[in-house]
Each structure stands twice: as C-alpha cells, then as structure tokens.
Structure 1
C-alpha cells in the first residue's frame, strides 16, 4: 500500500475534526515561510487513519509535491527496525540479552575505557564489564558518535572517519572493528549515551543470522510487513520519488538544498548502517507502527510475541531512571526529561516532568532529517511525521505535533 487515506470519521475515533485541522495550519506555516520544503503527517487511532496532512514539496527546485509514495531518508528511525531484528533472533534462542557480544564479535573482547587525558593523549583502563546485548539495545554500551563534539573519544571517532557518516569503502564488519579499537566513554551499563550501538547491533544480527543486514530485513521484516518501499538505497526507477534533503540557511533558517549529503541514498552503501541507513515511505512506516501497536503482528504476519514487544517498550534504565538523570546531556532524537529508554525506543515515564500531553508508556523515536513517530498504547494512537530538514533540532516540529494531536483528542 502506498496510498494514505482517512479510513474513518475522526469523530468516531474520538477526535474533533476542526481541532485536527490545526495540524495543517500550524505546520503549514513552516512551508509558507520557507523553513521546510514539505511534510506529511499521519494520525491513526484503533488501527484506522483519522487524519492525513500534506504540504509543500519533496523537491522544491523541481516543483514536485509531497506524495504518499515519496521516499524519505529516515536516518535513526532505522534503529527500531534493527532492534526488532535483534529481538527476533533473541526469540529464536540465539542469544540472551545478558550475553557478552564478544562471543560473536571477538573484536569487542578486550575493551578499554577512557578515564582522562585528551584525544591526542588518552589515558585508558581495561573495562571491568563486557558489552552485553542489552547494552547495545539501550545505548548504555559506552560507545559514542563523532558528531557529539563533547568528549575526547568523540574526537577519536572523527579522526577514524566517523563524523556524520562512515569512512568510504568500509563495510559494516570493517566499521565494527574500527569502533572496537576505540576506547569506551564509560563502563558499559553505567550511563546512557546516544551512539553507534545500533550499528554494532546490526553487525551482531549479520553474524548471528549469517545474512547481510539488508537481506535479513527484507526476508524477515520488510517482506512480511509489506514494506515494499523501504531499503538501504533508493533504486534508480524511484529516484523521481526521492525527497531532496535540505538544511537551514545560516541566519535566515530558510531551507536550502544539500545534495552533497542527500545523494548518498541513491546507491547501495558499502556500510549497511543499522542505526541510520534506511529510506522509507510514510505508508511503509505506518505499517511498522501498526505492527508495534498490535504487539508484534500485522495482517496475519507475527514477527514478535506480545511479551517481547512489551519488554522492548518498558524503561530499561537502572532504577527506572529517566534520561535526564542517567544520560549524558547531548543530542538525541527525543527529550530527556521524563523519558526513559527501552530496547530500541524512548519510553515516556512521566508526562508531567516531560511537560507533554502524551500518555505514560508512549514509545517513540525520530530521525536526523526531522522525521518522527510515536506509539501511544494507552490511547491506541500512532503518529508519523515526515520531512527532510537536517538537523532535527532546527525546529520544534515534534513537540508542536504532539500538542496538536492530543488537543484534538476528546
């Protein structure tokens, strides 16, 4: 399915249609003011689409409007797909969540932890705790990202070629070995830090399954869920459906095109990044959110048990802490206050602390080009936002969309 249409009277699903229209008006102003190229939002309750809103262009320069079959780079919204893949292998009994990953990825057998110094003269000590599978799923492994620019180890990642991308010509196996050669920012399990953990998890999926990550995704997730427009690259036949990537112009914040970074998705990458590599359509990712809301099943295809999805969407931070208390105050795709982290998703612990109208138990994530999704089991609600503006911190799109969705829910 590529077409997204309203499937029920919003009032039957508990929404005020006039209030839902505020989504179109408020987010539409970003396009009118030149701050976004275009966007698409989908609101679904009880498995039926209540509202679809579209505005603007997938390619401003070519005059091509946003369409239901537009291919969007979803960047870190790849992470939940990789987490589902890993938990499918967990359900087969291939590993325990507490297993050390060095049993399959021997490069991680003797990790060291940065304790002081600089990127040019780091002082490290042997790690006392191995990296375990659940550390990768929860971003508590001690790994990092080069683009954080907050720690000497971040600089070491950049020196190794990992800033906003990966070194040319390196596949996932080679990248994993390079990450293992770098020190950890902290002892595994002691803090939360947004990182390449999902990419390492993707490599674990490859080794355990004996398949490249794209093949595993296609056979066991994308195919069964009917996500035919999702993959690690966009085929030439679909290049006209690919949204262009934009960045804010310094000073004005108007959206300007960035083909230098955006064109990478047009060909199969050397490194299949389980943390950031997929392009998808709104209809495809809508099916993925419905599979999650239905606790592991969609249209007769069961990928995970309900108990497994339940475990994935609970807060796994020690002491039921939130990210503000347990995480490093760096960039992530969701707020820290009132949010914990599960096995691949942020998890809302306390709506009051988070200053949000959402329900406790909501799980969510987003992507670097300002895409986002959330699933609210309490309200049987899913919401999707697609656009292509990098970075996602440019505008408060996600917070505003939450306000607009929940104020319409009666």
Structure 2
C-alpha cells in the first residue's frame, strides 16, 4: 500500500474492515499495483476525473486500498476511504441476491410469472415498430422472474435507445424519485414491451420490478428487507437509499460538465430521501461496504461465518443464462460474455478487449463505480468514482492494472 492509502481501521468505525496483508503475501506485486495507481493519478492530473478509490483483495485479504484525488471538484477535501458514492446499477447485484434468498426460502420459483406478484403485468403486449407506428402483438409466453434477473423481460430503459417504446418511457414519470415502487411497476406494466420475453437481452428497469416483487412477497419495504437480510448481516452500515446531513462532508461528486464531451452532469441529491427505492439503481455505498458484499460473493455466499445465500444458488447466479438462443446487441455486453442472474459473466478467455478469467462476474454503475469477482484467482476488486463519461475507459485501465499485478 502507498502513503496515500486511506485504509486505516479508524476511518470507517461503522463498517469493519476486511483483513489486510502485504500485496506480495497474496501473490500481488506492489510495484505493479503502484504503476496502476500512478496511471490513475495521471488521469486525475489531466482532469479526467476528480478522484477515485481502488480496492483489490485476494485470498480473503485486502492487498491494496487507496483513495486518490479529490472527493468533489467543488471542494478541497481529498478523496477518502469512507467517501460515499451513488452506486447506481451496482444496486442490481444486491437486489438480485435478495430475490434469490426468497427463492431459497420457498416463496416462489424462478420460472414463476411476474404477473403472479404484480397483476398489472398480465395484460402486457409487445410493441413492434411498423412504418413509424407501434403494432401491439400478444405475448408468446409470460414474463418470468428469471427474465427479470437476466434482462430478457422485454422491459427497457429510457436512456439505452430512442425506439418508439423507449420514447414512451421518456415521456412518462418513470424517472421520478417521488413515485412509489408500486406506482413505478404499474407504470412499466402499462407500456408495451420491446421484445417477446426470453427473445432478447435488453438492459432495463427489470431489477426495479424485482425490488417491487421483494416488497410484495416479504410485506416489507425494499430498504427494510435489504437491511434485515443482507446489509445488516454483512455490516454494510453505510449502504442505503439516502444518507443523513451529518455525512454531507463525505459525498463524492462529479465534475458539473463532462471533461470529454462538455455534456452537463447532474445526479440525484444523496441527502434527499426518495419515495421510490430503486432496486435497479438507487443505493449509495462506500468502497469498504461494497468490498464486504464482494467478499461474501467470493466466499461462496458467506462472510465472517454469516451465510447470506447458498453456495449452489450463487453458482447458478454467476452462470450464463443467455446461451445462443437469446439475441444480444448491446455495447453494455462485452464480447466473450453472457449474463447470469444479476451479473455479467465471462464465458471465453479471449474476445473481450481486457484480461480476466472464465467464470468471473461483474457489474457497474453509470456514475463510474465498478466491481468484479474472479473465483479462479480468488480475487475481487472494487472501484469507486463519480465520472460517468469516463467509466468504460477507466474500468479497462483498472482490469489491465490489477491483472498485470498477479504474480
């Protein structure tokens, strides 16, 4: 670790640190990790991003944890190990684990129709574009819980394209943080699907719908369920849908305009409690909190003697659920990868333009947060920043740097 390392046991009193060790004792090269760190410092000096944290762990121990640059471009405070970030879609793996816990508890099956829990989905149609108009055609089969988990539901996002169905999303109140999860699900159900369930991989609001399923089945709010079953057992005390005023000095913020495109960057206020608890993208977290979640995954579903999810259930989640029968045409899905139940999964040694291992799984957030778990190397990494336009570039730098450090 370097002099700028923020990982001191007193930095985050609410969140226990994972054990730490010298990189070499974990089969990691300090010299090469330092080179990776230097590369991020160069990007910060160039004005690519305000600051970042990077954590690399192997064999159950942290080998590298560093905070670089500034927490916010508008203030002088340095980035810290306990800075708080909007993790956006890194909410999805947590909610997906929650759904699978309910399946383990016997509340429903992966193949159950979504309409069993949210009746509004029973009457959906598929919107087929025809000469600038939408033809509504019947479903060939019902959308299932598995479809929601693997993004083959036919649901979409308003920002992943500009088709006629996506335009309907754009004109609706779906982006509002002032509607409930129930209202959000009913709105999605009132609109046509992009494709037949099971036919295509479309990144989507599916995990928001899973959040609503959790509420219906558990009888609790999504935040209450996640806290009781996942966050509290893992001691992820800093992970929630908003944070208090006492933490205002710990919030990581982006540049107001993207340094590469000049586009305005505007994210939600982390101090404001939303009505909608977005299972697809609403959580805030810290680097160490998400590291504890990642270590639980790498540990086969357990951390500190607490089993969160069954070993074989997690194995199912981290397997490809698309196969050759599902059409995938998205820049969000790298070559040589498929998608499991909440994560992208590497299926080929080659093809992707970055190193890794077959069987590793990951996901990320639109503001730049990123994590992956590599069971082959007994390794995980967590990276946090708030730089949306630079996320893919920086993520691949991180992958290159971490894998270069393996001895």
TM-score range, shorter chain: over 0.9
CA RMSD, aligned part only? 1.9
Q: Does 1:271 align with 2:272?
A: no
Structure 1 370/247 Cα, relative in aligned 2: closer, same or farther at 3 Å? farther
3-state DSSP class of the match of 1:84? helix
Q: Which sections of structure 1, spanning at least 5 residues, go unmatched? A: none
Report the equivalent of 1:326.
Answer: 327
1:355 CA drift (Å)? 3.1
- Alignment pair present for 1:295 and 2:292: no
1:305 aligns with 2:303: no
Asked if the contact 2:48–2:390 (Cα under 8 Å) also holds between the matched residues in 1, the reply is no
1:176-208 Cα offsets, whole Å, 9 max, x none, are: 000001100110001100000000010001101
Tell me the equivalent position of 1:343: 341
Q: 1:138 to 1:99 in 2, by over 3 A?
A: same
Name the CA shift for 1:392/1:223 in 2 (closer, same or farther; >3 Å): farther
What is residue 134 of structure 2 aligned with on the other side?
122
Partner of 1:218: 227
What CA distance in whole angstroms lies between the structure 1 residues aligned with 2:134 and 2:176?
A: 22
- Give the aligned partner of residue 79 of structure 1: 92
Map of 1:210-289 to 2, 5 A cutoff? 210-246=219-255, 248-249=257-258, 252-253=259-260, 258=265, 261-289=266-294
- Specify the alignment match of 2:6 in structure 1: none
* 1:6 to partner: Cα distance: 7.8
| Counterpart pick for 2:185 among 152, 176, 186 | 176
Partner Cα distance (2:20, 2:177) in 1? 45
TM-score, scaled relative to structure 2: 0.92
* Structure 2 residue runs without a partner (length 5+): 1-8
- Deviation digits for residues 342-384 of structure 1 (CA, Å, limit 9, x no counterpart): 0000000012111332000000000011110000000000001
Q: Please state whether the residue corresponding to 2:106 is helix, strand or coil.
A: coil
1:116 Cα deviation from its structure 2 partner:
2.1
Q: Provide, for residues 269-319 of structure 1, a one-character-per-residue CA deviation record: whole Å limited to 9, x for no partner.
A: 111100000000001000000000011111121111101011100001134
Aligned: 1:159 with 2:186? no
| Alignment partner of 1:355 is 2:353 | yes
Q: 2:26 aligns with which of 13, 24, 27?
A: 13
CA distance, structure 1, for counterparts of residue 19 and residue 228 of structure 2: 30
SS in 1 for 2:387: coil
What do residues 5-24 of structure 1 show as CA deviations (whole Å, max 9, x unaligned)? 88212111111211111111
Q: Which structure has greater helix proportion?
A: 1
* Offset of residue 117 of structure 1: 3.2
Aligned residues of 1:113 and 1:186 also touching (Cα < 8 A): yes
Contact 1:170 1:271 in 2 (8 A): yes
CA shift for structure 1 position 328: 2.7
Q: Is the 8 A contact 1:136 1:198 kept in 2?
A: yes
Work out the CA distance in 2 between the residues paired with 1:279 and 1:400.
24
Paired residues, number: 394
The equivalent of 2:5 in structure 1 is none
Q: In the aligned structure 2, how far is the partner of 1:233 from the partner of 1:118?
A: 44
Closer, same or farther in 2 for the Cα pair 1:247/1:255, shift >3 Å? farther
Query: Does the Cα contact within 8 Å between 1:172 and 1:271 map onto a contact in 2?
Result: yes
Whole-angstrom distance in 2 between the partners of 1:100 and 1:373 = 31
What corresponds to 1:92 in structure 2?
Answer: 105
Deviation at residue 114 of structure 1 after TM alignment = 1.1
Structure 1, residues 196-232: CA drift from partner, whole Å, max 9, x if none? 0000010001101110000001111100000000100
The question of whether the paired residues in 1 share the 8 Å contact of 2:66 and 2:81 is answered with no
